[in-house]
Amino acid sequence: MNKKGKFPLRSAAALLAALLTVTLALGGCGFIEITYDHGSDTGTGEDSGTAATDAPWTVPAPTTTAIPPDKVSYPDRRAEAEAKLEALPDVELSVSDLIIANATSTAALIEPEEGDLLNAARSLRTEAACERYGISMTVLSVEESAMLGEFTAAEKSGTYYADFAVIPAYAAALFYNSGIVLNLGQLPVFEAPEGAGTVGMSCYFYCGSAVYDPDSLWALYFNRTLAGAEISESLYRAALSEAGLAWEDVLTAAASVTLPEGAYAAVSGTRSSATFAADAVCAGADVEFVSNGAGTVPTVNFDEQKLAEAGDVISRLAALLYLPAGEDAADPEAVFADGGALVRLGPLSDMRTFYDKKTEWGLLPLPHTGSVSENVTLGSESRPVMFFSGNGRPELCGAAITALDAASGAWLGDAYAAAAFENYLRDNNSYLTLHAILDGSVKFDFSYLYSGVASRLAGTTYNAARGQLTGGASLSEAVSRARVAANRELARLFG
């Protein structure tokens, strides 16, 4: 077997164990404590990266208010996660194993429906990904009452249920990716751009799993910080308050949004690191998160009152999911965020058709910087960076992945980042597809994702941005080059 591009799992476990040992010494016994420095000037993005590394576990936050609290204690479950890592078998996993397991597992649908375009697209994407990477796949068809048992059996046999990846590499992918989250001191720092939030009322939400997806966990962290940011006309000061919501409501909803009937239909009994991350973000907002013991299929338990409250919060958040309609518009416009960019999807009625079940929405607010600003930069050139693009430009996603690759060092290798970006654009919410839809150049047809066009665009933008970064160019120059390359490719593709 060709060993090139492999990640020995025990090596990854050893690396995480070393990090955990160091951070345990820093974090105290039993809890990880992060101190928010409200009194210091956060300065530029470059300064924010330096501050976080000079003072471990001290994370600069917006200076305008005392929220979030001066100190937030997170339950320290790293020893448990480390033990589970050590208990994993001595196997080698390829980059494709990790990527496919992670990318497909985070797009799970709990209640697949016959004829649903979204479900069909996710199944097609999984099939295409499995075929490409030589992964054997079996699509199961089971009743909801039998689903959990089938998931448990599938985890052992390497089969799939619809788009829920339960190959044996699945659990390893969770551990591998959650390494970024476990080392909380390395999380990037949010820097609000000058004038943020001073233009209209627009509600942006993050769409993703608050437990599995590292991007979602970063979003939780960012928004936990932003919850205390007193930005003029911001979502937090106006829209949430107007809807009668508190930050704790939002986090409760996010944590329970994929928990119909109060149980997460999980497939693996080895989720300690993912559970740890969920514990961490929930504890920061005093939201109860309970997992079952080791060796069992985990569930997340909320009492009935909390579940009912979360459902009500989700409904009220969903009512905020719009951009004000223009004078001649019959419908407000829906906007959602998926991974590295905000996407203007079109009329809200289309959005409600696209996601017709509220329990499929992972809802978290993100800042709006105005129609003339293309992106908000989180972090700095020396630290992991994510872009939230106001108009869904795929080249900014490519630049963001490239920047993450360049800045993250040990966490993202070249092949990993390239595969992540490719899967990212091949997702059912592909920016390439949405771009074409909004331009009116193609109908809303998910099959367009599998023509190879997304892969070519991914390669074009990724290579252009990475070439700039490896040549010593600044991140802004890399983004500019990626934009030019993507525009050229889009023009060639769509005429």
Nearest alpha carbon to residue 386 among 374, 373, 399: 399
Mean pLDDT (the chain) is: 35
Q: Has residue 485 got a pLDDT over 60?
A: yes
Nearest alpha carbon to residue 411 among 12, 3, 46, 77: 12
φ/ψ bin of 147: left (φ > 0), alpha (ψ from -120 to 50), beta (otherwise): alpha
CB atoms within 10 A of CB 409: 10
Residue 28: band (very low, low, confident or very high) from pLDDT cuts 50, 70, 90: very low
> Would you give the end-to-end CA distance of the chain in angstroms?
43
Q: Has residue 488 got a pLDDT over 60?
A: yes
Between 340 and 35, where is the model more confident?
35
Looking at the chain, the whole-number percentage of residues with pLDDT higher than 90 is: 0
- 402 within domain boundaries: yes
Final residue before a domain boundary, out of 145, 176, 207: 176
Query: H or E stretch including 469?
Result: helix 453-470
Locate 15 and state its tokens.
Answer: 């690396």
Between 143 and 393, where is the model more confident?
143
The pLDDT tens digits for 53-102 are 222 222 223 233 223 233 333 334 344 434 433 443 333 333 333 333 33
The pLDDT tens digits for 322-358 are 333 444 444 444 333 322 222 222 333 332 332 222 2
- 10 within domain boundaries: no
- 171 within domain boundaries: yes
Top-confidence range, 67-71, 109-113, 127-131, 410-414? 127-131
Contact between 108 and 154 (Cβ < 8 Å): no
pLDDT at position 462, please? 54
The pLDDT tens digits for 264-312 are 222 222 233 333 334 443 444 344 444 333 222 223 333 344 444 444 4
Number of domains in the chain: 2
Final residue before a domain boundary, out of 143, 176, 209: 176
- 17 within domain boundaries: no
Q: How far is CA 432 from CA 125, 395, 467, in A?
A: 15, 10, 22
pLDDT at position 460, please? 62
pLDDT at position 484, please? 67
Domain hosting residue 416, numbered range: 393-494
Mean pLDDT of 131-157: 38
The pLDDT tens digits for 158-167 are 332 222 222 2
pLDDT at position 465, please? 55
- 115 within domain boundaries: yes
Residue 204: band (very low, low, confident or very high) from pLDDT cuts 50, 70, 90: very low
Q: Has residue 486 got a pLDDT over 50?
A: yes
Residue 467: band (very low, low, confident or very high) from pLDDT cuts 50, 70, 90: low
Locate 202 and state its tokens.
Answer: 């627009």
- 412 within domain boundaries: yes
Contact between 341 and 387 (Cβ < 8 Å): yes
Q: Has residue 417 got a pLDDT over 60?
A: no
- 206 within domain boundaries: no
The pLDDT tens digits for 429-462 are 333 333 333 333 333 333 333 344 444 555 565 5
pLDDT at position 459, please? 56
Give the pTM: 0.23
Between 244 and 209, where is the model more confident?
244
- 198 within domain boundaries: no
Q: Has residue 464 got a pLDDT over 60?
A: yes
Final residue before a domain boundary, out of 147, 176, 205: 176
| Distance between CA atoms of residues 161 and 446, nearest Å | 20
Supply the DSSP symbol for 289.
-
